[in-house]
Amino acid sequence: MNKNIQSFIELCNGEFGRKVAYTYVDEITRENVLSVLQKAISVLNCNRPVIRYLHRYYRGDQPILYRQKTVRPEINNKTVENHALEIVRFKTSQTYGEPIQYVSRKPDQATNDAVDRLNDYMRDAHKQARDIELGTWQSSVGTAYKAVLKSKGNCPVPFRLNVLSPMNTIMVYSGHDGRDMLSIQQLKDEWDQQYSQCFSDTEYFIIKNGRVTDSGLNGFGGIPIAEYPNNPDRLSDVEIVITMLDQINKMQSDRMNGIEQFVQAFMLFKNCEINKDQFIEMCQLGAIQVKDSGQGVQSDVKIMSEELNQEQTQVAKDDVYRQVLVVEGMPDRQQNTGGDTGQAVYLRNGWDFAEQRAKLDEPFTIEAEKKHVFIVLNIIKQTTKDIDLSVRDFDVKITRNSTDNMLVKAQSLDYLLKNKIHPLIALTTCGLFGDPEKVWTMSKPYIDTIMKTQEQLDAEAERERALELLEVQTNSTIKTGGAE
């Protein structure tokens, strides 16, 4: 059931990327929520089979496994080279391999301490594990959803994080200004009856059997579900190269077929008659005896085989795989031929290109993360009240390879500091630290001992001039007194 038998192109009919639900009402109310829900569910129903296909494809359920072969059907190798898994894992690790950090935008100690407590809360809520799960959905199907809910019982963290399936979740946006209007989840109750749970900015709605069965004030202070699109078009990292991935599977399977057909080649008996028993006996003996039938007609027995050119096939397969890497913006795993520096390999193999491609999609994740943290802060303010922050007090920092080329980065930091660049700018530019603001705050007492601001230099110069003037006056007084 729901196996990926057909190709993705046959399923999506050329419609790539996930569809987005819009509404043109100014406010979601109990009176209009049913009409908004109905239109959004139609969009979700359109996206669901595509999302299911892509997620199963990433997990290894690919069309080559169901290929039918009419010629010599007994030789039908079905090999999956799951590069879709490789792509999704790489893309997820780029964004979520290191924990997403919140860094203070203000230099005061109170804000830094509050941001540190927020990061501690997120660690205790196992945020990175949820983010990796989120990134897997985001990369494999083009979008993902994360919900924040209030904890129950004696939980040390007042909130809990949950990653929702995009097959049952959708966000409705305003057709006028693009703001979040309504989140929709399709759920089942304890009697296995389906219902929809919806959140607007101010209210919640429970809808079952085409009517609103429950509604009330939304206690989260906003929509508790945030959508994390993979890119503006919500394109999956798999679907943009899925035809090439199918070709790689086909090439590898056909290569295996070619090897097996060469080993199990047909035998041609020319101008000689042989029955089944004689053939079996000859196979067991490993020898064949034939004689000419006379009148100039020659008899012959030979293997009908034509071996597949494996070298040319490998060249074609490698070319397709390289094009997959180019389209995905992933680094190539070329071997070092010698004489290259680390930075040269970084540029030649495409790691710098991969970094630039990741930066293109990063702002969409940061935007969604800000919406998510807004609800988290609301819950904390309602319960523990030990964090007094707004989303304007901190930035979302996505860290990638902070220790990569560490010596070069350290040399860059040293060069910037020696040339009188502000230490905070130098710490941010060099790329060594995930939270340069915190590093600057903690290091300031030590930096002040080796670096001085212009005001400090002017004050020291003024003191030196005052001391020189005092020394001159003292010397003058001594000389005058000696003359008397």
In-domain check, residue 479? no
* Any domain includes 154: yes
C-alpha to C-alpha distance for 224 and 200, rounded to whole angstroms: 9
Q: What is the DSSP letter of 167?
A: T
Does the pLDDT at position 10 exceed 80? Answer: yes
The structure tokens 């059997």 sit at: 209
Top-confidence residue, 421 or 292: 421
Tens of pLDDT, residues 406-416:
777 788 888 88
Q: Which helix (H) or strand (E) element contains residue 258?
A: helix 242-263
pLDDT per residue over 465-477, tens digit each? 888 888 777 777 7
Secondary structure (3-state) at 259: helix
Q: Which one, of 191, 212, 166, lies nearest residue 37 by Cα?
A: 212
Mean pLDDT of 188-206: 94
pLDDT-derived band at 448, boundaries 50, 70, 90: confident
For 449-453, the CB contacts below 8 A with 24+ separation are 451/417, 451/423
Residue 378 lies in a domain: no
- Beta-strand pair 180-188/169-174: antiparallel
How many separate helices (H) and strands (E) can be counted in the chain? Answer: 14, 13
Residue 221 lies in a domain: yes
Q: Which of 322, 345, 372, 353 is nearest to 145 (CA)?
A: 372
Number of separate domains in the chain: 1
Tell me the one-letter amino acid at 408: V
Helices (H), 105-226: 109-124, 127-141
Residue 117 lies in a domain: yes
In this predicted structure, the answer to whether residue 484 has a pLDDT above a threshold of 50 is no
Task: Please give the pLDDT value at position 468.
Answer: 81
Rounded Cα distance between 386 and 116, Å, is 12
Mean pLDDT of the chain: 84
Q: What is the rounded distance in angstroms from the CA atom of residue 24 to the CA atom of residue 381?
A: 33
The tokens of 84 are what? 């879709």
Whether the pLDDT of residue 264 is over 50: the answer is yes
Strand partners, 147: 162, 225
Lowest mean pLDDT among 62-76, 293-307, 363-377: 293-307
Residue 24 belongs to some domain of the structure = yes
- Within-domain flag for 36: yes
The residue segments making up the domain with residue 158 are 8-239
Give the closest residue to 96 by CA, choosing from 365, 290, 474. Answer: 365
What's the pLDDT tens digit per position in 16-26? Answer: 999 999 999 99
Record the pTM: 0.80
**CA-wise closest residue to 200 among 184, 178, 176:** 184
Q: What is the sign of the dihedral through the CA atoms of 64, 68, 72 and 75? A: positive
Rg (CA), the chain: 34
End-to-end CA distance of the chain: 116
Alpha carbons 406 and 402: distance in angstroms, whole number: 7
Task: Tell how far CA 401 is from the center of its chain.
Answer: 15
The stretches of 125-235 forming alpha helices (DSSP H) are 127-141
